Structure 1
Amino acid sequence: MTSTRSTAVRAGFTRGWIEFRQSFTNGADLWSHFFWPLLMLVVVYFVKDVSFGDSGFFLGTLALPSILGMNAAFGMISMSQQLTVDREDGTLLRAKATPNGMTGYLIGKIVSVSGSLVVDLAIFLIPGMFLVPGLMVNDSGAWLTLIWVLLLGMVATLPIGAVLGSAFSSARAQQLLMLPIIALIGISGIFYPLAAFPAWLQWIAQVFPVYWMGLGMRSALLPQGAESVEIGESWRHLETVAVLGVWAVIGLILAPILLRRMARRESGSSIAERREKALQRVG
């Protein structure tokens, strides 16, 4: 049993690495890698010289690390969408049919989504460092903070993405997910400091990981004194670890349970039924 599971783990890493490499070999995936980071660079460019009140900081400087956190949180959407697509085309059914196939499948998705996410962040951050002045890019401590926030953030959000993916039976239904996510981003202090928002919105935003990933990235890359525009005038690292840790525990508990339940419901007839409904909508 242990040997079978270890084989599934190795197969999962191999599958994830292959999927990651293949995402750079076709136009559609390359477009998805570059479009969002480049769009965010345009947004940062137009606010890079806009002052935030009397703080002495520009919105571009405050927004760039926040967008890094937001993009990292978007990994859960990518995970959710890929699970739904694989459910529709029968990939999950094939994984279910092999010993420990779901374990290997989930590991493969985590590897491919995480790898793609890191590349997308680099596409945004590297030119952003030259576009926006005042970032602490020459400080080794800043990079260590960025790394632990990113790793903890992925552990907190990717399992939640798997949970969301198990809840949607079609790619069309996945579109409903974008509206609340966009609304959440809007109130999470990504493009404007959360401290300037009404108190009730501040409380809502602090429940979810998007705000804390943005805060953690700002704590890594912004210079001393920038915390003055934050809630409590502090980077609140302990709170960041606590909230992201809670989300990680919730996701790691729920994801395997819901994925196993979803896999048990998969069959050739259910896939055929979904395809028939899709053809009817097209027709």
Structure 2
Amino acid sequence: MTALRLGWRRGVILLRQSFSNGSELFSHVFWPLLMVGAVVFLRDREFGAFSLGALAVPSILGMNAAFGMVSLSQQLTADREDGTLLRAKATPHGVPAYLVGTLILVGGGLLADLAVFLVPAALLVPGLVTGGAGTWLAVAGLLALALAATLPLGIVLGAVFGSPRAQGLLTLPILGVVAISGIFYPIAALPGWLQAVGQAFPFYWLGLGMRAALLPDAAVSVELGDSWRHLETVGVLSLWAVAGLLLAPLVLRRMARRESGSRMSARRERALQRVG
């Protein structure tokens, strides 16, 4: 309970600071509005009898929720580089409190970004089902499952890819997976082997779940098997969540044990040599 309380306090402070910092606030607004522009551009293009813009809105919500794991891995790498993780290791309840605070920072920022995107998109893109409490309950439940399925994986990625340069390279294959996951174009239009690869990752299932919540029932005709596959969506995302929750504590404890002042100094020296 002490770790949770300290972590909550740390996360709220960091989240408040992120919205008061000009560059971070710009990022919270710019990228969601850029995606709003993309779906508005697609709203007059059709796939079957449906607007590509309407099909893309829930898919982008799912994609952004999954991209929280990239943000968390980058945050973890940056905190290790500047000594934040080492300081947390040296204080009572420091590592659990650090983890809780970082989850609040990344999760809170992600929810704010989704709200900035969804509100204007719902107003500007026709064809979305945005009325009724059931829709928003389904969206809230999927977002909770999305965070549970992806944020623990961010901890694993942050431990495996231990430098900012490696984190930059990590973004490229993830963007490739997004491209074949039915985010901007229905996955049913892709070759069969690409469909199989896309369905192995959570991006597709998050997008599918969001489409089931925000699109009319007739839109199921553009999905694989003409089905929303609710049980499969919950099952696959739950498997990712269980895998992440099992792996994340192990890799975080291992990473914290290996941190030391000498290791941080060595990383700093290597960084200075690269700059030089």
Which TM-score band (shorter chain)?
Answer: over 0.9
Aligned match for 1:20, one of 8, 15, 18 = 15
Question: Which residue identity is paired with 1:26?
Answer: N
Query: 1:163: how far off?
Result: 0.5
1:234 alignment partner AA:
S
> 2: CA distance between counterparts of 1:27 and 1:172?
25
The aligned length equals 276
Distance in 1, matches of 2:143 and 2:226, equals: 22
**Superposed structure 1 runs of 4+ greater than 3 Å apart:** none
Number of the residue aligned with 1:45: 40
Is the partner of 1:23 in helix, strand or coil? helix
Q: Residue type matched to 1:121 in 2?
A: L
* Of 156, 165, 168, the match for 1:172: 165
Alignment deviations for residues 12-66 of structure 1 (CA, whole Å, 9 cap, x no partner):
01111111111111112112211211111111111110011xx310100100110
Structure 2 unaligned runs (5+)?
none
Structure 1 residue 139: Cα displacement = 2.1
Indicate yes or no: 2:187 matched with 1:194: yes
Output the aligned Cα RMSD. Answer: 0.8
Q: Which amino acid aligns with 1:270?
A: R
For 1:208 and 1:173, the matched residues in 2 are separated by 21
User: In 2, distance between residues paired with 1:76 and 1:211?
Assistant: 15
In structure 1, the gaps of 5 or more residues are: 1-5
Aligned partner of 1:17: which letter?
V
1:78 aligns with 2:71: yes
Provide the TM-score with structure 2 as the length reference. Answer: 0.98
Partner of 1:163: 156
Task: Determine whether 1:238 maps to 2:208.
Answer: no
**Equivalent residue runs for 1:110-129 within 5 Å:** 110-129=103-122
Q: Supply the distance in 1 between the matched residues of 2:240 and 2:95 (Cα, whole angstroms).
A: 22
Hey, what does 1:65 align to over in structure 2? 58
Question: 2: CA distance between counterparts of 1:168 and 1:66?
Answer: 27
Tell me the amino acid that sits aligned with residue 73 of structure 1: A
| Residues 1:260 and 2:238 are matched in the alignment | no
TM-score by length of 1: 0.96
Letter in 1 for 2:68: G
On the 8 A contact 2:51/2:127 being kept in 1, the answer is: no
Q: Which residue of the partner structure matches residue 3 of structure 1?
A: none
Aligned-partner Cα distance in 1 for 2:30–2:151: 21
Match of 1:211 in 2: 204
Could you tell me which residue of structure 2 aligns to residue 229 of structure 1? Answer: 222
**Separation in structure 2 between the aligned mates of residue 148 and residue 202 of structure 1, nearest angstrom:** 25
Q: Which amino acid aligns with 2:230?
A: H
Q: Distance in 1 between matches of 2:142 and 2:215?
A: 14
- Identity value in percent: 63
